[in-house]
C-alpha cells in the first residue's frame, strides 16, 4: 500500500492529488487539520453512542460499549460529535492539542 509522506512533492503524487488506494486513511495523521478539538464531560455522558455513530472519521473511541476518548491522530475537529450529543456533553475547545490515545 502506498502512503505519501508528509513532505511529498506534488510531482511524486498521483494526478490531482488523488489517493488511488482505498482503505488507507488510517495511515495518515490529520491532527494538523483541526483548529479546535472535542472535550467530553464523562459525568454528563449517558453513553448513547450518537457521537460514535455520527463521527465521519471514526475518531470516537469506544471500549466495552462505552465512549472513552477521541482519536488525536484522526479527529479533524469538525464538531459533529458536539452537535449531535443530546445532552450537550461535548464542547469544542480552541487548539489542536488532544490527549494521546491510550493503548487499547
Ligand atoms: S470533532 Fe469531528 S472528527 Fe473529531 S471526534 Fe468529533 S465528529 Fe469525529
Ligand atoms: S453523544 Fe453525548 S451522551 Fe451520547 S455517548 Fe456521545 S458524549 Fe455521551
Residue 37's CB is within 10 A of a number of other CB atoms, namely 21
Is residue 74, in this structure, part of any structural domain at all? yes
Name the CA dihedral angle for 6, 101, 57, 61, rounded to a multiple of 10 degrees: 170
CATH of the domain at 75: 3.30.70.20
Residue 102 has pLDDT above 70, yes or no: no
16-25, 39-48, 52-61, 83-92: which has the minimum mean pLDDT? 16-25
Give 23-34 pLDDT, tens digit per residue. Answer: 888 888 889 999
pTM of the predicted structure, to 2 decimals: 0.83
37 in a structural domain: no
Give the pLDDT band of residue 59 (cuts 50, 70, 90). Answer: very high
Helices (H) and strands (E) in the chain, counts: 2, 4
Q: How far apart are CA 89 and CA 47, in angstroms?
A: 10
Q: Is residue 85 part of a domain?
A: yes
Number of domains in the chain: 1
For the chain, the distance separating the N- and C-terminal CA atoms, rounded to the nearest angstrom, is 24
pLDDT level of residue 7 (50, 70, 90 thresholds): confident
Total Cβ atoms within 10 A of residue 44: 11
Centroid of ligand 1 to alpha carbon of 47 (angstroms): 16
For position 101, what pLDDT does the model report? 60
Residue owning the nearest CA to atom 1 of ligand 2: 85
In a domain, 22, yes or no: no
Distance, in Å, from the CA atom of 5 to the CA atom of 28, rounded to the nearest integer, reads: 9
Domain that holds residue 56: 42-93
- Which residue's CA is the nearest one to ligand 2's atom 2? 85
Tell me, yes or no, whether 21 lies in a domain. no
- Pair 90, 49: CB distance under 8 Å: no
Amino acid at each position: 500500500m502506498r502512503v505519501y509522506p508528509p513532505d511529498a512533492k506534488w510531482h511524486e503524487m498521483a494526478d490531482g492529488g488523488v489517493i488511488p488506494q482505498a482503505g488507507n486513511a488510517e495511515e495518515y495523521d490529520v491532527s494538523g487539520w483541526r483548529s479546535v478539538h472535542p472535550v467530553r464531560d464523562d459525568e454528563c455522558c449517558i453513553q448513547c453512542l450518537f457521537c460514535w455513530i455520527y463521527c465521519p472519521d471514526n475518531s470516537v473511541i469506544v471500549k466495552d460499549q462505552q465512549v472513552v476518548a477521541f482519536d488525536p491522530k484522526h479527529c479533524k475537529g469538525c464538531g459533529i460529535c458536539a452537535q449531535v450529543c443530546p445532552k450537550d456533553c461535548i464542547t469544542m475547545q480552541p487548539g489542536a492539542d488532544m490527549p494521546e490515545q491510550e493503548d487499547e
